[in-house]
Structure 1
Amino acid sequence: MDIRAMNVARSYDTARSVTEPQPGTGSGAALTRAIDDFATTFREGEATARAAMIGGADPHALVEALAQTELAVETVVTVRDKVVEAYQEILRMPV
Protein backbone atom coordinates (compact mmCIF):
# COMPACT_ATOMS: atom_id res chain seq x y z
CA MET A 1 0.00 0.00 0.00
CA ASP A 2 1.21 3.49 -0.80
CA ILE A 3 2.29 5.67 2.13
CA ARG A 4 0.18 8.55 0.84
CA ALA A 5 -2.93 6.38 0.87
CA MET A 6 -2.22 5.41 4.47
CA ASN A 7 -1.78 9.05 5.46
CA VAL A 8 -5.02 9.99 3.72
CA ALA A 9 -6.88 7.18 5.47
CA ARG A 10 -5.46 8.22 8.85
CA SER A 11 -6.38 11.88 8.23
CA TYR A 12 -9.87 10.84 7.19
CA ASP A 13 -10.34 8.83 10.40
CA THR A 14 -9.33 11.76 12.59
CA ALA A 15 -11.48 14.24 10.66
CA ARG A 16 -14.52 11.96 10.67
CA SER A 17 -14.79 12.02 14.45
CA VAL A 18 -14.92 15.83 14.37
CA THR A 19 -17.82 15.94 11.91
CA GLU A 20 -19.96 13.28 13.59
CA PRO A 21 -22.75 14.64 15.79
CA GLN A 22 -22.17 14.32 19.50
CA PRO A 23 -25.10 13.16 21.65
CA GLY A 24 -26.62 15.90 23.75
CA THR A 25 -25.11 18.85 21.85
CA GLY A 26 -27.43 19.40 18.89
CA SER A 27 -30.57 21.46 18.45
CA GLY A 28 -32.59 18.43 19.50
CA ALA A 29 -30.94 18.53 22.91
CA ALA A 30 -31.66 22.25 23.24
CA LEU A 31 -35.28 21.65 22.33
CA THR A 32 -35.53 18.85 24.86
CA ARG A 33 -34.09 21.10 27.59
CA ALA A 34 -36.51 23.87 26.66
CA ILE A 35 -39.47 21.51 26.84
CA ASP A 36 -38.28 20.18 30.19
CA ASP A 37 -37.87 23.74 31.51
CA PHE A 38 -41.40 24.61 30.35
CA ALA A 39 -42.85 21.53 32.01
CA THR A 40 -40.98 22.27 35.25
CA THR A 41 -42.18 25.88 35.28
CA PHE A 42 -45.75 24.75 34.64
CA ARG A 43 -45.61 22.12 37.42
CA GLU A 44 -44.16 24.61 39.91
CA GLY A 45 -46.90 27.12 39.04
CA GLU A 46 -49.59 24.52 39.60
CA ALA A 47 -48.05 23.45 42.90
CA THR A 48 -47.90 27.06 44.11
CA ALA A 49 -51.52 27.63 43.06
CA ARG A 50 -52.63 24.53 44.97
CA ALA A 51 -50.67 25.65 48.02
CA ALA A 52 -52.24 29.11 47.84
CA MET A 53 -55.73 27.60 47.69
CA ILE A 54 -55.22 25.76 50.96
CA GLY A 55 -53.38 28.64 52.58
CA GLY A 56 -49.86 27.25 52.28
CA ALA A 57 -48.41 29.98 50.04
CA ASP A 58 -48.49 33.72 50.27
CA PRO A 59 -50.21 35.77 47.54
CA HIS A 60 -46.89 37.21 46.36
CA ALA A 61 -45.55 33.72 45.56
CA LEU A 62 -48.76 32.90 43.72
CA VAL A 63 -48.56 36.04 41.57
CA GLU A 64 -44.90 35.36 40.80
CA ALA A 65 -45.60 31.74 39.83
CA LEU A 66 -48.52 32.78 37.62
CA ALA A 67 -46.36 35.41 35.89
CA GLN A 68 -43.62 32.86 35.21
CA THR A 69 -46.14 30.36 33.88
CA GLU A 70 -47.74 33.01 31.68
CA LEU A 71 -44.35 33.96 30.25
CA ALA A 72 -43.52 30.31 29.55
CA VAL A 73 -46.84 29.75 27.77
CA GLU A 74 -46.41 32.91 25.69
CA THR A 75 -42.91 31.77 24.69
CA VAL A 76 -44.15 28.33 23.63
CA VAL A 77 -46.99 29.89 21.63
CA THR A 78 -44.55 32.24 19.89
CA VAL A 79 -42.24 29.37 18.97
CA ARG A 80 -45.20 27.35 17.71
CA ASP A 81 -46.35 30.29 15.57
CA LYS A 82 -42.87 30.63 14.06
CA VAL A 83 -42.76 26.92 13.24
CA VAL A 84 -46.18 27.05 11.59
CA GLU A 85 -45.16 30.17 9.66
CA ALA A 86 -41.99 28.45 8.41
CA TYR A 87 -43.97 25.37 7.41
CA GLN A 88 -46.44 27.48 5.47
CA GLU A 89 -43.56 29.28 3.76
CA ILE A 90 -42.15 25.91 2.68
CA LEU A 91 -45.55 24.91 1.30
CA ARG A 92 -45.64 28.09 -0.80
CA MET A 93 -42.32 27.28 -2.48
CA PRO A 94 -42.61 26.38 -6.13
CA VAL A 95 -41.63 22.83 -6.97
Structure 2
Amino acid sequence: MDFKTLQALGAYATGQAKGIRPQDTGAAPGAAAETGQKAPDFAATLADTANAAVSTLSQAERAAIDGLAGRADPHSVVAALTQAELTLETAAAVRDKVVEAYQDILRMPI
Protein backbone atom coordinates (compact mmCIF):
# COMPACT_ATOMS: atom_id res chain seq x y z
CA MET A 1 0.00 0.00 0.00
CA ASP A 2 1.15 3.51 -0.68
CA PHE A 3 1.19 6.31 1.88
CA LYS A 4 -1.99 8.03 0.66
CA THR A 5 -3.97 4.82 1.01
CA LEU A 6 -2.67 4.26 4.53
CA GLN A 7 -3.37 7.89 5.39
CA ALA A 8 -6.95 7.60 4.13
CA LEU A 9 -7.49 4.36 6.03
CA GLY A 10 -6.09 5.94 9.18
CA ALA A 11 -8.38 8.95 8.85
CA TYR A 12 -11.35 6.66 8.24
CA ALA A 13 -10.49 4.54 11.27
CA THR A 14 -10.11 7.64 13.44
CA GLY A 15 -13.49 8.89 12.24
CA GLN A 16 -15.05 5.50 12.94
CA ALA A 17 -13.57 5.49 16.45
CA LYS A 18 -15.11 8.90 17.10
CA GLY A 19 -18.46 7.78 15.66
CA ILE A 20 -18.25 10.07 12.63
CA ARG A 21 -19.48 8.75 9.32
CA PRO A 22 -18.34 10.48 6.10
CA GLN A 23 -21.91 11.29 5.06
CA ASP A 24 -22.62 12.88 8.46
CA THR A 25 -20.14 15.71 8.06
CA GLY A 26 -21.91 17.34 5.12
CA ALA A 27 -19.04 19.78 4.67
CA ALA A 28 -16.29 19.96 2.15
CA PRO A 29 -12.67 20.20 3.31
CA GLY A 30 -11.84 23.76 4.27
CA ALA A 31 -15.47 24.59 5.00
CA ALA A 32 -14.61 25.54 8.59
CA ALA A 33 -12.67 28.56 7.37
CA GLU A 34 -15.56 29.67 5.17
CA THR A 35 -18.16 29.45 7.94
CA GLY A 36 -16.02 31.20 10.53
CA GLN A 37 -15.58 28.11 12.68
CA LYS A 38 -12.17 27.52 14.19
CA ALA A 39 -10.28 24.76 12.40
CA PRO A 40 -8.87 21.99 14.60
CA ASP A 41 -5.37 22.59 15.91
CA PHE A 42 -2.68 20.44 14.26
CA ALA A 43 -1.12 19.51 17.59
CA ALA A 44 -4.50 18.47 18.99
CA THR A 45 -5.26 16.43 15.88
CA LEU A 46 -1.87 14.75 16.08
CA ALA A 47 -2.36 14.00 19.78
CA ASP A 48 -5.84 12.57 19.16
CA THR A 49 -4.48 10.37 16.37
CA ALA A 50 -1.61 9.15 18.54
CA ASN A 51 -4.02 8.38 21.39
CA ALA A 52 -6.28 6.47 18.99
CA ALA A 53 -3.28 4.46 17.77
CA VAL A 54 -2.23 3.60 21.32
CA SER A 55 -5.81 2.61 22.13
CA THR A 56 -5.96 0.35 19.07
CA LEU A 57 -2.70 -1.34 20.01
CA SER A 58 -3.90 -1.81 23.61
CA GLN A 59 -7.15 -3.38 22.41
CA ALA A 60 -5.19 -5.76 20.18
CA GLU A 61 -2.95 -6.70 23.10
CA ARG A 62 -5.99 -7.38 25.30
CA ALA A 63 -7.59 -9.43 22.52
CA ALA A 64 -4.41 -11.50 22.13
CA ILE A 65 -4.24 -12.14 25.88
CA ASP A 66 -7.93 -13.10 25.92
CA GLY A 67 -7.35 -15.38 22.94
CA LEU A 68 -4.48 -17.15 24.67
CA ALA A 69 -6.59 -17.57 27.79
CA GLY A 70 -9.47 -18.98 25.73
CA ARG A 71 -11.84 -16.11 26.51
CA ALA A 72 -12.01 -14.77 22.92
CA ASP A 73 -12.78 -16.41 19.63
CA PRO A 74 -9.95 -16.58 17.06
CA HIS A 75 -11.82 -14.38 14.57
CA SER A 76 -11.95 -11.39 16.93
CA VAL A 77 -8.29 -11.89 17.86
CA VAL A 78 -7.23 -11.91 14.21
CA ALA A 79 -9.39 -8.85 13.48
CA ALA A 80 -7.87 -6.92 16.39
CA LEU A 81 -4.32 -7.90 15.43
CA THR A 82 -4.93 -6.93 11.80
CA GLN A 83 -6.21 -3.53 12.91
CA ALA A 84 -3.15 -3.11 15.13
CA GLU A 85 -0.85 -4.05 12.26
CA LEU A 86 -2.50 -1.47 10.00
CA THR A 87 -2.20 1.15 12.73
CA LEU A 88 1.48 0.39 13.23
CA GLU A 89 2.16 0.52 9.48
CA THR A 90 0.37 3.87 9.27
CA ALA A 91 2.37 5.27 12.18
CA ALA A 92 5.62 4.10 10.56
CA ALA A 93 4.63 5.69 7.24
CA VAL A 94 3.81 9.00 8.96
CA ARG A 95 7.10 8.87 10.86
CA ASP A 96 9.01 8.26 7.63
CA LYS A 97 7.29 11.22 5.94
CA VAL A 98 8.04 13.50 8.91
CA VAL A 99 11.71 12.51 8.86
CA GLU A 100 11.84 13.00 5.09
CA ALA A 101 10.27 16.47 5.41
CA TYR A 102 12.74 17.39 8.16
CA GLN A 103 15.65 16.28 5.99
CA ASP A 104 14.29 18.34 3.09
CA ILE A 105 14.18 21.39 5.35
CA LEU A 106 17.78 20.78 6.44
CA ARG A 107 18.89 20.63 2.79
CA MET A 108 17.29 23.98 1.92
CA PRO A 109 19.77 26.71 1.07
CA ILE A 110 19.89 29.64 3.45
Q: TM-score, normalised by structure 2?
A: 0.64
Aligned twin of 1:55: 70
What percentage of residue pairs aligned between the two structures are identical?
Answer: 45
Cα distance between partner residues in 2 of 1:38 and 1:64:
15
Structure 1: unaligned runs, 5 residues or longer: 1-17
Name which one, 1 or 2, has greater alpha-carbon Rg: 1
Deviation at 1:26, TM superposition (A): 0.5
Q: CA RMSD in A?
A: 1.4
Q: Runs of 4 or more off by more than 6 Å in structure 1?
A: none
Cα distance between partner residues in 2 of 1:61 and 1:73:
18
Specify the SS of the correspondent of 2:81: helix
Q: Which amino acid in structure 2 is aligned with residue 75 of structure 1?
A: T
Q: Does 1:30 align with 2:30?
A: no
Aligned residues: 74
Specify the SS of the correspondent of 2:66: helix
Cα distance between partner residues in 1 of 2:83 and 2:62:
13
Q: TM-score, normalised by structure 1?
A: 0.74
